[in-house]
């Protein structure tokens, strides 16, 4: 038989790794100081207990509290990652090994279990993984921003090319309509359809050209509230909508700021139109303007800008609707050029793309929050100083 008393002192002195000896019934017979230190038990507290007490029941390892009894002692285990559970509940990651030794008669068996503390390695691994995720995310954002820029360039290039032929088509339709004023009904309605489509295409082309970044902003000291009013008037003049209640809450004390009035008006029109279109059965739109000191720094869409630091004074415009909201799957694509959920005859999908670019040119930010089925809030931050 082994004389466990005799080896105990040696284990404390010479074995640096946490170690325990377990008998064939999986009762702990000997524990060295390194193990007691690792799991926070006092001398004598572990001896006599079942080996499983110091294993965590962690899903992360195949060797866990619930199957320790079955697994150890069946053969040699070499360097399995598992978790010990300290007395205070902490889970300590360890590299576990065990081997069985038999006495001369091959009757009684003892199992020697060692466990190397790998918390430090795990921590470094975790840090590396997080850093990798961060780099990957940043890279994705860069690629996305590049892609959008490239598409923007391409789109405005194409728009340039398309603009002249479209002009000729519109002139041609005008000419034909004037030349054959008394045509049959179906000819007239064909003319009208052609005209409507050509004008729609022309509108998209103009919008694309209009915001192309080469074109400089015309910055003047402006009253954002007046621009909001102007946008609302434009929307009301151009489209009919019923059952939609628009509530505008302008803070009169907000400072005048340097912006391009026409471009900003275009943004507000886009956003109000989107809000209206999100409420085919009617609903409410709240428009609000105010200024405040930002409690936290704000990062732009796709992480492209980091324009606002905590504490900066900003002017905020919020446009909130009680419409259908935006499904999570669409959320990442909202600002992509030509992304639309409104079908062929509805949207062009450039409203938000153009708006984002215009706000971007003002070194501002645009943020969208939405709950599907409840509504959407678009928030614009502009520099107030
Ligand atoms: N207020 C809103 N409520 C719900 N969905 C919205 C809202 N604003 C934008 N969206 C979604 O974003 C898409 C893109 O908007 P936008 O770029 O203005 O293009 P368009 O309005 O031509 O579709 C819309 O098709 C719609 O799915
Ligand atoms: Mg739109």
pLDDT value at residue 59: 86
Q: End of a domain among 192, 211, 230?
A: 211
118/73 Cα distance (integer angstroms): 23
Verify that 246 and 354 share a domain, yes or no: yes
Task: Give the pLDDT band of residue 297 (cuts 50, 70, 90).
Answer: confident
pTM beyond cutoff 0.85:
no
Residue 88 within any structural domain of the chain: yes
Verify that 200 and 249 share a domain, yes or no: no
In the predicted model, is pLDDT for residue 50 greater than 90? yes
Q: End of a domain among 184, 211, 238?
A: 211
- What CATH number should be reported for the domain holding residue 66? 3.30.450.20
Verify that 206 and 314 share a domain, yes or no: no
Quick one: three-class SS letters along the chain? CCCHHHHHHHHHHHCCCCEEEEECCCEEEEECHHHHHHHCCCCCCCCCCEHHHHECCCCCCCCCHHHHHHHCCCCCEEEEEEEEECCCCCEEEEEEEEEEEECCCCCCEEEEEEEEECHHHHHHHHHHHHHHHHHHHHHHHHHHHHHHHHHHHHHHHHHHHHHHHHHHHHHHHHHHHHHCCCCCHHHHHHHHHHHHHHHHHHHHHHHHHHHCCCCCCCCEEECHHHHHHHHHHHHHHHCCCCCEEEEEEECCCCCCEEECHHHHHHHHHHHHHHHHHCCCCCEEEEEEEEEEECCCCECCHHHCCCCECCCCEEEEEEEEECCCCCCHHHHCCCCCCCCCCCHHHHCCCCHHHHHHHHHHHCCCEEEEEEECCCEEEEEEEEECC
Residue 184 within any structural domain of the chain: yes
Residues 71-82: tens digit of each pLDDT = 898 889 999 999
Residue 91 within any structural domain of the chain: yes
Residue 338 within any structural domain of the chain: yes
In the predicted model, is pLDDT for residue 286 greater than 60? yes
Verify that 161 and 276 share a domain, yes or no: no
Verify that 202 and 269 share a domain, yes or no: no
Of all protein residues, the one whose alpha carbon is nearest to atom 19 of ligand 1 is 349
Verify that 192 and 73 share a domain, yes or no: no
Verify that 67 and 26 share a domain, yes or no: yes
Verify that 370 and 351 share a domain, yes or no: yes
Q: Which of 138-152, 306-320, 349-363 is predicted with the least confidence, judged by mean pLDDT?
A: 138-152
Verify that 162 and 109 share a domain, yes or no: no
Q: End of a domain among 211, 229, 261?
A: 211
The domain in which residue 173 lies consists of: 142-211
Residue 132 within any structural domain of the chain: no
pLDDT value at residue 143: 79
Verify that 203 and 79 share a domain, yes or no: no
Ligand minimally distant from the alpha carbon of residue 378: 1
Verify that 356 and 260 share a domain, yes or no: yes
Number of domains observed in the structure of the chain: 3
Would the CB of 342 count as within 6 Å of ligand 1? yes
List 292's β-bridge partners, or say none: 314
Q: Which atom of ligand 1 is nearest to the CA of 334?
A: 12
- What CATH number should be reported for the domain holding residue 342? 3.30.565.10
Of all protein residues, the one whose alpha carbon is nearest to atom 25 of ligand 1 is 340
Residue labelled with tokens 């790794």: 17
- What CATH number should be reported for the domain holding residue 153? 1.10.287
Verify that 371 and 226 share a domain, yes or no: yes
Residue 227 within any structural domain of the chain: yes
Residue 56 within any structural domain of the chain: yes
Residue 19 within any structural domain of the chain: yes
Would the CB of 319 count as within 6 Å of ligand 1? no
Would the CB of 278 count as within 6 Å of ligand 1? yes
């Amino acid at each position: 038989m082994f004389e466990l008393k005799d080896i105990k002192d040696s284990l404390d002195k010479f074995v640096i790794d946490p170690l325990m000896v377990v008998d064939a019934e999986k009762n702990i017979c000997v524990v060295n100081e390194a193990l007691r230190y690792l799991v926070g038990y006092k001398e004598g507290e572990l001896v006599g207990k079942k080996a499983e007490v110091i294993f965590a029941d962690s899903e992360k390892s195949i060797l866990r509290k619930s199957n320790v009894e079955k697994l150890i002692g069946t053969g040699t285990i070499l360097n399995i990652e598992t978790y010990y559970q300290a007395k205070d509940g902490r889970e300590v990651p360890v590299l576990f090994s065990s081997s069985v030794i038999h006495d001369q008669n091959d009757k009684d068996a003892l199992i020697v279990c060692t466990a190397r503390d790998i918390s430090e390695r795990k921590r470094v691994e975790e840090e590396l993984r997080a850093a990798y995720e961060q780099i990957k995310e940043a890279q994705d954002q860069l690629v996305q921003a590049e892609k959008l820029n490239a598409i923007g360039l391409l789109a405005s290039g194409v728009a340039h090319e398309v603009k002249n032929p479209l002009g000729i088509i519109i002139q041609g339709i005008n000419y034909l309509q004037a030349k054959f004023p008394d045509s049959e009904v179906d000819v007239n309605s064909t003319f009208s359809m052609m005209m409507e489509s050509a004008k729609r295409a022309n509108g998209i082309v103009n919008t694309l050209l209009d915001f192309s970044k080469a074109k400089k902003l015309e910055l003047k000291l402006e009253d954002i509230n007046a621009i909001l009013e102007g946008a609302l008037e434009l929307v009301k003049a151009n489209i009919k909508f019923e059952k939609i209640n628009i509530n505008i809450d302008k803070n009169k004390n907000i400072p005048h700021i340097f912006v391009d009035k026409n471009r900003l008006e275009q943004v507000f029109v886009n956003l109000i139109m989107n809000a209206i279109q999100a409420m085919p059965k009617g609903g409410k739109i709240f428009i609000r303007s105010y200024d405040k000191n930002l409690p936290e720094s704000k990062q732009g869409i796709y992480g492209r800008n980091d324009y606002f630091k905590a504490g900066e004074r900003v002017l905020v415009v919020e446009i909130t609707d009680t419409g259908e909201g935006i499904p999570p799957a669409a959320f990442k694509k909202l600002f992509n050029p030509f992304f639309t959920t409104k079908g062929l005859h509805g949207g062009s999908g450039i409203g938000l793309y153009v708006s984002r670019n215009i706000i971007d040119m003002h070194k501002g930010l645009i943020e969208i929050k939405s709950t599907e089925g409840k509504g959407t809030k678009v928030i614009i931050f502009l520099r107030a100083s």
